[in-house]
Structure 1
Amino acid sequence: MGYVRTAILMAAMTALFMGVGFMLGGEAGMILALLVAAGMNVYSYWNSDRMILRMHNAREVDDRTAPGLVPMIRQMTERAGMPMPRVYIIETEQPNAFATGRNPENAAVAATRGLLRALSTEEVAGVMAHELAHIRNRDTLIMTITATFAGAISMLANFAIFFGGNRNNPLGIVGVIAMMILAPLAAGLVQMAISRSREYEADRIGAEICGRPQWLAGALEKIDVLAKRIDNNVAERNPATAHMFIINPLHAHRYDSLFSTHPATANRVAALRAMAGAGSPAASRRPWG
């Protein structure tokens, strides 16, 4: 059901983008918007991972420079039948992590220094298993494309401010003004909805990869508390990447509301503990390590 919902939301994002193009420049504007979106997505497809890792000053590590982290990830990828991703560390004290890349063969996972310091080995394994689940589900590509669409919609809305938009549309100047205000908001809401729908699925698959749902549940509780106390200055300067992290790095509203990029942590923890208590396949498998 999660994939169906994601497909519907992606279609809504595409329709919204083309609608903004029409309001900006009529039929020609709609076609131009589609061409711009295609170009941006092609560029993002090939370069998004490097762009995001560079943005967060991530440093690639190996068995020698991160002897506790890299072998752990390698064992879990072998367990999951996945290619080994590149592994990065971000030098910030806020505990957090994300995955990026266009497909499992060209993917990377990044953990913050704070994550490695604040969490136990088992909890780190739960977090990295969650990120591996995003890679296996190809969520990293989906979330990059939605972020690109959202940014492009905001860009087109800004063009309308300077150039006046297509006033010959059925709603006239009122429609142009409404588009300038509402289109970026709607794009952000769709982006958030896609992100939230993928988090629950990544929690479930991640619990299966590491073999213990309670490890990820405990990690989420710790990260949620500490991320609200510790700033991630790079993430604050680049809020468009917030949806990629396992917990929102921006001190966002804590409840499971329409305007949250992530589901409520309490809801995610409850679902994971229900998996553990119900004797799910994830809970019955031999744990990682």
Structure 2
Amino acid sequence: MREILLTGARGQLGTELQRATWPSDVTLVAIDRNDLDLTDTAAIAARVAARDWAAIINGAAYTAVDQSESDPAIAWAVNATAPAAFGKACAEAGIPLVQVSTDYVFAGDKQGAWEVDDAPGPVSVYGASKLGGEMAVCASGARHAVVRTAWVVSAHGSNFVKTMLRVAAANPTLRVVADQRGAPTSAADLASALQTITLRLIEDTSAPTGTFHFSNAGETTWADFAKEIFRQSARRGGAVAEVESITTAEYPTPARRPANSLLSHRAIETAFGITPRDWKAALADILDELIGAQTINATERHS
């Protein structure tokens, strides 16, 4: 039996990785912060050394983007120092490490999708701490895959889709930022990609390593994303609201957000044959789970 250690068990990604169907000879051992203190590097080393793991997936992160600005120590401990400890321990154990990262490592000032080898330039403490984790893993000597993602949503936990539906239930009009571009990422689709990568790294010591990007295909803005959520929600009898487009300047936050979070999929397609599906199709699956399958009327059925 091959055992894979997964951190971040209660998060959106951790939940979907546990829901995924793994090979019969693979066991996913999912832990959260109650099981392992990610600010304790000695505890991380001991956990990795304690068993003959086939691989580690570090899906845990300190994701409080705005709070990171006022509490950088915890952000750096969880997002940078912990991955460094995992990298060192995995290198010593001779096992692969899959590290999840973010579009926030980029400044967001590029036209078009970010390639994996574009120069990073984080504009927030959160982004800087995640870049620190990437750099530590890449320098650790462990076989690794750093997978950057963006705008993660699912039927679980806290995310944009669930927030929009909840707020719309009490507000007829919502003001949503329209000058930040990106592509939503289904946590289930991300989990599937990470599963493919992890199993490949376990089974093939010559498998590609390095940095990769995964999000769903297509692009949108937060405002247009909200409009699509409500369009699809309406077809399922769910919450609906009008969306008023605003600028980032009209919705100030402690941490700056990248204006462009689009991620190129070229590297992950080439290395692992992973081609993401369109974000609207992924959203439909999430809303099916949250609200129920859509009702198609006779006109639509025959159109």
TM-score by length of structure 1 reads 0.26
More strand by percentage: 2
More helix by percentage: 1
TM-score by length of structure 2 reads 0.25
